[in-house]
Structure formats: structure tokens, C-alpha cells
Structure 1
Amino acid sequence: MRLYLQTMPASAEPPRYVQIVLEQDLLGGWTLYRESGTQGGRATLKRDQYLERDEAIAAFEKVRDAQLKRGYRVVFAQGVDGPYGRR
């Protein structure tokens, strides 16, 4: 699953973005990647690993919901049920 969220651009500042990716690894575990930064600028990448799929999806949804509450809007979604994933 992959979500790309972005803020509305301010006057002179580039928009901020958050990309959330959930992937299954070769050993059956799950990795949640969270990349955030300024469009065209520096970015930060965080990675969390989970053994169970349900736990990983819950973490994905928690990060997604937190960003939506902060005013980010979904620009791109891939492999997600519904417009913004399960709710």
C-alpha cells in the first residue's frame, strides 16, 4: 500500500509532503516506511517493522489519520481499499 499526501502550497514556500508505504518483506514480516519533507528539499525517512499484517495495517492507518488531521490531502493512493484506505 502506498499513500502520497501533500499540503496546499503557501505563497512562496514549497508544499510539504508525506509518503507512507507498507510492504511485505521476504520473510513474511511487514515494513512501514514514512518519508516526509519539503517538495524539492530535504526529506526524512523512518522505518518500522511488524511481524503481523493486522498490526502493520493498524500502524499505517494511524499515521494516515494523523496526517489527514494535520491538513494533508491525498494526492496519490496505490493498493489501498477505498479513497484513503480502510476506516
Structure 2
Amino acid sequence: MDVARMLSLWLHRRDPTRNMDRFYRLYIMADLLGGWCLVREWGRHGAAGQVRRDPYANSAEASAACVRLAQKKLRRGYRPAFGASLPQELAALLCP
């Protein structure tokens, strides 16, 4: 997967009957030491969320991890936020 194509992915999950209004953001960035980081941000809309940075040796590993996490979140009911489109690898998960 091309890193530039998957630079940032915003997902959200809303269910008013369960008072659920969550977000999940994934993005890949270069670190200062020549490696790559997969950055995850998550929480409830309107509140301070949490951030986690996972280092990877190269962009391919970071991209693969990003796709795995996005697939997991899509299976749990998260959807692209703000009318964003998904890469082909992930869009297939939304089709019945």
C-alpha cells in the first residue's frame, strides 16, 4: 500500500440508543530517526482522547499495521467520518 494514499484515516461510530459517539484516527508519519510511526487517536467526540504511537522500521510495515487496525475497526461498526472514502483494500469490508 502506498503511504501517501493512506496518510490519514478518520473513523467514527455513532449509536444514539447506546449513547455512543466515538472516533478513531489512524495516520502514518516519519519519525526523527528515519523510521516510521503509526499514530492512533481515539475517544469520544468532544472530549480529550488518547494517543498511541507505534514505531516501525519502514513504511510498508506501518501501512500493513494501519490496514489491519482499520479492518478491525470497520468490523466493529466504525465508518469513514466526514464523507471520506476508503482505500480499495478496506472499502470491500463495507460491501455486503
Determine which of 21, 38, 45 is the counterpart of 2:27: 21
- Segments of 5+ residues of structure 1 without an aligned counterpart are 78-82
- Segments of 5+ residues of structure 2 without an aligned counterpart are 1-6, 90-96
Q: TM-score of the superposition, structure 2-length normalised?
A: 0.74
| CA positional deviation for 1:21 | 1.0
Percent of aligned positions with the same letter in both sequences?
Answer: 34
Q: TM-score of the superposition, structure 1-length normalised?
A: 0.81
* Structure with the larger RCO, 1 or 2 (CA within 8 Å, 6+ apart): 1
Amino acid at match of 1:33: V
Determine if contact 1:29/1:49 at 8 Å carries over to the other structure.
Answer: yes
Q: Which has the higher helix share?
A: 2
Q: Which stretches of structure 1, 4 residues or longer, exceed 4 Å deviation after superposition?
A: none
| Deviation per residue, 1:17-36 (Å, 9 max, x gap) | 00111112243311111110
Q: Describe the SS at the equivalent of 1:84.
A: coil
Could you tell me which residue of structure 2 aligns to residue 84 of structure 1? 86
| CA positional deviation for 1:45 | 0.7
- Does 1:67 find its partner at 2:73? yes
Once superposed, what is the RMSD of the aligned Cα atoms? 1.9
Paired positions, count: 82
Could you tell me which residue of structure 1 aligns to residue 44 of structure 2? 38
